Amino acid sequence: MNKDEHENTESEEIHRRLRESDRANLTTDPPTMGAWERVKLARHPDRPYTLDYVDMIFEGFEEIHGDRRFADDPAVVTGLAKFHGQPCVVAGHQKGRTTKERQQRNFGMAKPEGYRKALRVMKIAEKFSRPVFTFIDTTGAYPGIDAEERGQAEAIAYNLREMAKLRVPVIVTVTGEGGSGGALALGVGDQILMLENSIYSVISPEGCASILWRDATHAQQAAEALKLTAQDLLQFGLIDTIVPEPEGGAHSDPREMGDVLGAYLSDALAAAAALGDKERVERRYEKFRVMGEFEELSE
């Protein structure tokens, strides 16, 4: 795959500028913001959603609907697009902006058919050797009777296994809330990016608080304890890159956010596409294989 981004001097320029500020803001300065502030930013109602990024970063988006099994899940959007002129596939959670749209999209909480649709489209990408970009922004997979009946757990599990095998580059970005298994079901990839104020967690702070503190009002404490910020995940080696956000958060300047993310996606794709298919899948395995922290006592 050719690296079209180098022909685009504008994005190159943005890229350089941001890389410099990135170094200044993220690597040397200690994190000044608490986890709970990040949670609030990640959930900010004006935060750009998947379709906003698709609109800003990709060209010629054609939405693809349905899992060909049961239904079309509006909480997940998938489609064909072009990234710097190159055909690719996009899949991501989609929260609604208006009250009506929020309900229609089930607040970005996907049902099994959403995950199955996403995988279906990723397999089309694999068949025709096109890269995959996924965008994660969900409170979690939908906890409802119908979702359980249709195999919410199986849908997530199957995505985890199949995404590990995809022979094309898979670039994952957590843009807002990375809510547990419902997030991870779109999250197995070669390059994993998190926006500076996004979160990624095994359980929501509220859920954690209600179980361990037996009181959901301890959510702030739980948010700190869960180590769910992009900085935390980078430190544990669970993600590759933190994408800096404009001052005040992504929603304060969505256009700038789109430009920044576009530049980072260029880099991520270039890194993943530089490898042969076999080696890329092997490295993806190794990436997840080393995740985890433990000690081993000698026998």
Partner 1 sequence: MSWFKRKEGPNPLDDSGERTVRTEGLFVKCPGCDQTLFRREIEDNLNVCPKCGHHQRLRGRERLDMTFDDGAWIELDRGLISNDPLGFADTKSYRDRLKDMRIRTGMLDAIVTGEGRVGGLPTVICSMELSFVGGSLGSVVGEKITRAIERCLRTHSSFIIFSASGGARMQEGALSLMQMAKISAALARLDEARLPFISVLTDPTTGGVTASFAMLGDFNIAEPQAQIGFAGPRVIEQTIRQKLPEGFQRSEFLLEHGMLDAVVERKQLRDFIIHSLEFMVGNGKKSG
Per CB under 8 A, 272 contacts partner 1: no
Task: State which of residues 77, 203, 250, 268 lies at the interface with partner 1 (CB under 8 A).
Answer: 203
Q: Is 245 left (phi over 0), alpha (psi -120 to 50) or beta?
A: beta
- Between residue 118 and residue 177, which ones bind partner 1 under the rule CB under 8 A? 141-145, 147-154, 156-158, 160-162, 164-165
Element (H, E) at 78: strand 76-83
Task: State which of residues 211, 217, 255, 279 lies at the interface with partner 1 (CB under 8 A).
Answer: 211
* Shorter beta-carbon distance to partner 1: residue 3 or 218: 218
Please choose, out of 58-66, 68-76, 80-88, 208-216, the segment that lies near partner 1 by the rule CB under 8 A: 208-216
Beta strands in 162-235 (DSSP E): 170-179, 191-195, 199-201
Per CB under 8 A, 226 contacts partner 1: yes
Asked if 76 contacts 91 with a C-beta cutoff of 8 angstroms, the reply is yes
Beta strands in 110-204 (DSSP E): 132-138, 170-179, 191-195, 199-201
* Shorter beta-carbon distance to partner 1: residue 128 or 285: 285
Per CB under 8 A, 247 contacts partner 1: no
Euclidean distance between CA atoms 261 and 268, whole angstroms: 10
Q: How many residues bind partner 1 (CB under 8 A)?
A: 59
Task: State which of residues 202, 270, 273, 275 lies at the interface with partner 1 (CB under 8 A).
Answer: 202
* Shorter beta-carbon distance to partner 1: residue 25 or 210: 210
Look at strands 76-83 and 59-64 and give their pairing: antiparallel
Alpha carbon separation from 178 to 88, 137, 222 (Å, rounded): 23, 6, 16
Shortest spacing between CB 139 and partner 1, in angstroms: 11
Euclidean distance between CA atoms 205 and 185, whole angstroms: 20
Which residues bind to partner 1, rule: CB under 8 A?
141-145, 147-154, 156-158, 160-162, 164-165, 180-181, 184-185, 187-188, 200-203, 207-208, 211-213, 221-222, 225-228, 232-233, 236, 238, 284-285, 288-289, 291-299
